[in-house]
A = this chain, B = another copy of it.
């Protein structure tokens, strides 16, 4: 009996071995399948048979994930610690909504299902490149915090400024500082949907000034992360 569990433990936790890697790949492909099913379910006007197939796929997938969760729980050295570890909780949250929903309203389940997406983070479990990225974040931590704060301040000042420039001419689009914040986000990230934009001369000049300063503040962190990654690679 004991030998079987050693073999199962190898499958579940020893990613270095051939069967461990195969099992990990299998679980990850199941997660992708479950995400695809979830997405297809949201399509409007699905035929009845498709809804049935998806419901059955859901049952099978949750069954498999449940078996995996129980096996992980069984082979864990300290079971309580596993249950409350990050991936222990994620694994539980990935299957719990299905069981909870049986006695409850169906609409509530829909919201809970979002939690299933946390299964994605399992994909990261075995990835080593994350270590280097983690180092890069440590190297550039202070600059990133500084630029994040500066970015939020620039966003807020941009929103207040455009509020005073455009409020009277476009009371709907720039109704309050919060409305203006939406414009500031869409502009400083250069998304520019085009649902709100300044029409007064003052607002346009202000937008120009904000973009000259703000673009750097919002875009520099990207460059910081990239150069910190290069540094982390050198010291590896």
Contact = CB atoms under 8 A, between A and B. Distances in A.
Contact of A139 (B120, B224, B227, B233): B233
A55 interface: no
Contacts of A143: 129, 132-133, 229, 233
Interface stretch (A60-68, A96-104, A171-179): A171-179
A226 B136 CA distance: 14
Interface residues of A, number: 73
Contact of A186 (B192, B195, B222, B230): B192
Number of copies: 4
A163 B215 contact: no
A149 interface: yes
Nearest to A111: B164
A159 to B, nearest CB: 8
User: By CB atoms of chain B within 10 A, which of A35, A139, A197 has the most?
Assistant: A197
A187 B191 contact: yes
Interface of A: 35, 38-39, 42-44, 111, 114, 117, 120, 123, 127-130, 132-133, 139-140, 142-143, 145-146, 148-149, 153, 156-157, 160-161, 163-164, 167, 171, 175-178, 181-182, 185-187, 189-195, 197, 204, 207-208, 211-212, 215-216, 218-231, 233
